[in-house]
Structure 1
Amino acid sequence: MRVPVAAGSHAHAGVAAAPVELHQVSRHYGTGEARVQALADVSVTFPAGTWTAVMGPSGSGKSSLLHCAAGLDRVSAGRVLLAGQDITHATDATLTGLRRRTMGFVFQNFNLIGSLTAEQNVALPLKLAGTRPSRRDVRAALADVGLADRARHRPRELSGGQQQRVAIARAMVTRPSVLFADEPTGALDTGSARTVLRLLRRMVDTAGQTVVMVTHDPVAAASADAVVFLSDGRIADRLPRPSAGQVAERLTRLEG
């Protein structure tokens, strides 16, 4: 069964209907007795201009789902489409190009380069893509996350929340069609996490950004347009615009 994550009131008209689609996707690791089934016949659509949180108990397949959707991991069966393009069997070179042009990534541990300034970290994806970074674009990306005055600071001179906002600016400077976030608030204090969540919400509401976010935090999930729950590698449920309490209750039942 495919689980559509319906575009809510925050979706923008004129945006492509479904930038990320998984059709009957399975992923297993190892062989024989060591074989582990991470995903089993998962079908889900993440429409453009929406923010979807992916949740589930430990080992439920959350990260595998995100990695397969982003082409970071190969599926064992099924198909993955990005903006209508089948990337299931794309070459590594094609996938690398697609990721650099159409996807942004934010992880729990920031992954900033300590020897580079904030603006140099933000410019890095453009350099890797063979594009001469525009200082104006880089500074604009930092301004978008409220760090215009921290452009010349190195990561050690920034708080954890500020480092994560630099990481978001770095992910967004290439104007990706979809932002994949893996536990983006997991290493942050409550105040910094709230700031990052407000930033993601604004990106979806004002710019029509698509966000697919793996999280274990019911408060973070409740900021999204919809929450998809995984259990044992399968879609277990979907809740549109739930409260943090509803998310926590559903997660508790799955973990039980």
Structure 2
Amino acid sequence: MQLHQVTRVHGSKNTGVAALDNVSLTCPPGTWTAVMGPSGSGKSTLLHCAAGLDQVTSGRVLLAGHDITAAPDNVLTAMRRRTIGFVFQTFNLISSLTAEQNVAFPAKLAGLRVSKRDVRAVLAVVGLADRATHRPKELSGGQQQRVAIARAMITRPAVLFADEPTGALDSASAKTVLALLRDMVRTAGQTILMVTHDPAVAASADTVIFLADGRVVDRLTGPTTHDVAERLAGLES
């Protein structure tokens, strides 16, 4: 996944506000990149542009080898269903469906045939093989987020986009989810782009990108919680 000199302006070109300003970013396959920055720095806009949810004002976005910068809506919709996985702070599970039905739902939307064996296998990967027939209200917050991750994995996405994936979880559940994401990168070669405000969460990634006023102003490779917190404090001061 690559962004080349991407600018995203909200409003008119003359009087609008640049949420992203000439941002370039490369997320190689099998790597985990975290995005941090003060409120209003452009984190969510970057995630949305990279995933094709927002159209860029200028620049190019390459996803899974495809230039999606000016792709029509039907192409973007197909890619979001087959090539991209999403995990959000809110789990967005369908309350009337079981865990396995929630996992299978996006594949059915994409017109993909997935067997119950495939669904159970993905639930086993996230440690919920014994919760397949449980509905969301019968699961803890951490378990619901793991169902959401399994749902994102079922289509074998090229890139998994995560927006504050541990924001609604207690510390123990957050550690479980982060360990799961790390294992997906290490053993399955999953590519992850994640937005977070938590230095401890960002430190789980391979690289941390820092935004300020819509621009990339710093980056850390092999981050520690202390180093991330220190860099972030410098941007917010």
TM-score range, shorter chain: over 0.9
**Are residue 210 (structure 1) and residue 191 (structure 2) matched?**
yes
| 1:98 shift after superposition | 1.0
Which of 87, 97, 101 does residue 116 from structure 1 map onto?
A: 97
| 1:34 shift after superposition | 6.4
Structure 1 residues 161-240: aligned runs within 5 Å: 161-240=142-221
| 1:35 shift after superposition | 2.2
Structure 1 residues 122-141: aligned runs within 5 Å: 122-141=103-122
**Are residue 44 (structure 1) and residue 25 (structure 2) matched?**
yes
Q: So what's the TM-score if we normalise by structure 2?
A: 0.98
* Residue aligning to 1:10: none
| 1:85 shift after superposition | 1.5
Change (3 A) 1:248 1:41: same
User: Which segments of 5 or more consecutive residues in structure 2 lack a partner in the other structure?
Assistant: none
What secondary structure does 1:72 align onto? coil
**CA offset digits 1:200-242 (Å, max 9, x no partner):** 0000001111010000010110000010000000001010011
Percent identity over paired residues: 73
CA RMSD between the two structures: 1.1
**Are residue 150 (structure 1) and residue 154 (structure 2) matched?**
no
Q: So what's the TM-score if we normalise by structure 1?
A: 0.91
* Residue aligning to 1:245: 226
Which of 30, 37, 45 does residue 64 from structure 1 map onto?
A: 45
Return the letter of the residue paired with 1:245: H
Which deviates further from its counterpart, 25-34 or 142-151? 25-34
**CA offset digits 1:4-59 (Å, max 9, x no partner):** xxxxxxxxxxxxxxxx1001100011238862210000011111100000000000
Distance 2:119 2:208 in 1: 32
User: Which segments of 5 or more consecutive residues in structure 1 lack a partner in the other structure?
Assistant: 1-19
**Are residue 22 (structure 1) and residue 27 (structure 2) matched?**
no
* Residue aligning to 1:102: 83
Distance 2:149 2:65 in 1: 25
